[in-house]
């Protein structure tokens, strides 16, 4: 084991681990990040489509994502890196009474938390997104403060700025064990050596449960796979992320937006979930999602798809992340189960984890950690996963 004692060892250089390393290093801590892949952001982060919204249904995710939006929107101005931030907003469309009821009920909750979101009636929705199919549309919600950015450029930005501030990284290295002594973390063992620390942060995404089990713990995180795709770039014709929550055969919902570069990026939520770690693309995805997207926005029929891919969503029983200290092992911290929203939660989560390690949590931080605790009741569920 190395003689140097790190302030924290973060397992996973992805959507959560990279911001955590950056904010810890910026606060004067000395973190080490260990990742099995060859470079930063090559796990679930690589498969994210880049949407960022604060319009959730619970205070924990709302507050974390408001912080993330602040960070994303000011990153280039503050640090000089172009992460392709674009504030196009989010829109959830309603073509049936079911969707209208769900969105309006959720709207009351979101506005109650002070979020900038409103209901648009049919004509206003079509004025904002003229390319929508007007046949049968009722309206929808719109949150102008939300947006998008590039997950890969963001990962690179957090990585390079973290290294500048003293964070260390070990790539192509697999964690094989958590070293414990008298109920406390004292280090991490890998296939290439050992590292001393009193704090380990599990930010291993889809592999979070296996890492927890190395410490003699367990966490209810199970990955399922989702596919996404990207088109050729075209002249801008749609501003917000468009989300259609109507269920259909094989899918629960789908969503797409026009990226800052002009490309359309899209994803679908399969129903039933495809549980497991298989990241191979399928022949089913593109015909399914294309049919739904063209029906919603006929203009998309003329846009060529460039490629598709498949990524993993680390899911929890209720659709909320699991964050906080393990009661059974001192020094072990969970930052897992982001349920496909790690990219948008990541920067806010990085700030929170830094405060947790430093021991200077605010009342709001404490409330977030209580809501996202591993030891909560998992009976409730996210209202809009």
Give every CB contact of residue 148 below 8 A, 6+ residues apart in sequence. 49, 50, 51, 52, 84, 85, 86, 88, 241, 257, 259, 260, 265
pLDDT digits (tens, 9 = 90+) for 110-127: 999 999 999 999 999 999
- Residue 216 to residue 43: CA distance in whole angstroms: 24
- Residue 235 to residue 345: CA distance in whole angstroms: 30
Nearest Cα to Cα of residue 53 among 131, 129, 106, 121: 106
- Residue 235 to residue 224: CA distance in whole angstroms: 34
231 plus 143 within the same structural domain: yes
Within-domain flag for 376:
no
CATH number assigned to the domain comprising residue 351: 3.50.50.60
228 plus 357 within the same structural domain: no
Which pLDDT value is given to residue 259? Answer: 92
Within-domain flag for 377:
no
216 plus 158 within the same structural domain: yes
pLDDT digits (tens, 9 = 90+) for 83-103: 999 999 999 999 999 999 999
Mean pLDDT calculated for residue range 210-239:
97
Within-domain flag for 379:
no
217 plus 250 within the same structural domain: no
16 plus 38 within the same structural domain: yes
pLDDT tier for residue 292 given thresholds of 50, 70 and 90:
very high
The angle, 0 to 180 degrees and rounded to 10, between the axes of the packed helices 342-358 and 17-26 is: 40
Q: Across all residues in the chain, what is the average pLDDT? A: 96
Parent domain of 238: 87-147+223-311
Within-domain flag for 55:
yes
Which pLDDT value is given to residue 291? Answer: 96
Question: 3-state SS of the chain: helix, strand, coil percent to 5?
Answer: 30, 30, 40
Within-domain flag for 52:
yes
For the chain, the domain total comes to 2
Boundary (domain end) residue, out of 311, 333, 350: 311
- Residue 373 to residue 377: CA distance in whole angstroms: 9
Within-domain flag for 108:
yes
pLDDT digits (tens, 9 = 90+) for 135-186: 999 999 999 999 999 999 999 999 999 999 999 999 999 999 999 999 999 9
pLDDT tier for residue 204 given thresholds of 50, 70 and 90:
very high
229 plus 239 within the same structural domain: yes
207 plus 116 within the same structural domain: no
214 plus 118 within the same structural domain: no
Which pLDDT value is given to residue 197? Answer: 98
CATH number assigned to the domain comprising residue 271: 3.30.9.10
Which pLDDT value is given to residue 104? Answer: 97
135 plus 254 within the same structural domain: yes
Within-domain flag for 352:
yes
323 plus 302 within the same structural domain: no
| Three-class secondary structure of residue 83 per DSSP | coil
107 plus 234 within the same structural domain: yes
Q: What is the pTM of this model?
A: 0.96
What are the strands of the beta sheet with 175-181, ordered from one edge? 5-6, 193-197, 184-190, 175-181
Q: What sign does the dihedral 85-89-94-99 (CA atoms) show?
A: positive
What are the strands of the beta sheet with 139-143, ordered from one edge? 118-121, 139-143, 90-94, 241-244, 251-258, 263-270, 222-233, 305-315
Within-domain flag for 362:
yes
Alpha-carbon separation of residue 280 from 224, 312, 375 (angstroms): 12, 11, 34
The angle, 0 to 180 degrees and rounded to 10, between the axes of the packed helices 59-79 and 151-164 is: 70
Boundary (domain end) residue, out of 288, 311, 334: 311
């Amino acid at each position: 084991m190395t003689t140097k004692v790190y302030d924290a060892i973060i397992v996973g250089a992805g959507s959560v681990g990279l911001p955590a390393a950056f904010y810890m290093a910026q606060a004067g801590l000395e973190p080490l990040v260990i990742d099995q892949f060859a470079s930063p952001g090559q796990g679930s982060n690589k498969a994210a489509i880049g949407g960022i919204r604060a319009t959730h249904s619970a205070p924990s995710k709302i507050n974390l994502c408001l912080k993330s939006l602040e960070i994303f929107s000011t990153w280039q101005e503050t640090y000089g890196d172009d992460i392709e931030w674009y504030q196009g907003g989010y829109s959830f469309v309603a073509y049936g009474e079911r969707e209208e009821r769900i969105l309006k009920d959720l709207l009351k909750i979101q506005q109650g938390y002070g979020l900038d979101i409103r209901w648009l009636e049919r004509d206003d929705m079509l004025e904002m997104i003229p390319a929508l199919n007007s046949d049968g549309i009722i309206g929808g919600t719109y949150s102008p403060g939300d947006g998008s950015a590039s997950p890969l450029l963001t990962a690179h930005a957090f990585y390079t700025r973290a290294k500048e501030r003293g964070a260390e990284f070990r790539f192509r290295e697999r964690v094989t064990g958590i070293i414990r002594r008298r109920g406390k973390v004292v280090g991490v063992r890998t296939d290439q050596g050992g590292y001393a620390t009193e704090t380990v942060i599990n930010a291993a995404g889809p592999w979070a449960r296996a890492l927890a089990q190395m410490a003699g713990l367990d966490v209810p995180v199970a990955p399922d796979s989702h596919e996404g795709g990207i088109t050729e770039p075209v002249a801008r014709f749609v501003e917000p992320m468009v989300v259609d929550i109507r269920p259909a055969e094989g899918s629960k919902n789908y969503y797409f937006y026009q990226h800052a570069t002009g490309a359309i990026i899209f994803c679908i939520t399969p129903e039933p979930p495809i549980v497991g770690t298989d990241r191979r693309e399928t022949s089913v995805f593109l015909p399914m999602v294309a049919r739904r997207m063209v029906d919603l926005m006929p203009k998309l029929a003329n846009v060529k798809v460039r490629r598709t891919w498949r990524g993993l969503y680390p899911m929890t029983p209720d659709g909320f992340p699991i964050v906080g200290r393990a009661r059974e092992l001192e020094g072990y911290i969970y930052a897992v189960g982001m349920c496909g929203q790690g990219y948008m939660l990541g920067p806010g989560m990085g700030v929170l984890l830094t405060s947790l390690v430093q021991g200077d949590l605010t009342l709001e931080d404490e409330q977030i950690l209580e809501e996202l605790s591993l030891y909560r009741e998992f009976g409730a569920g996210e209202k809009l996963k």
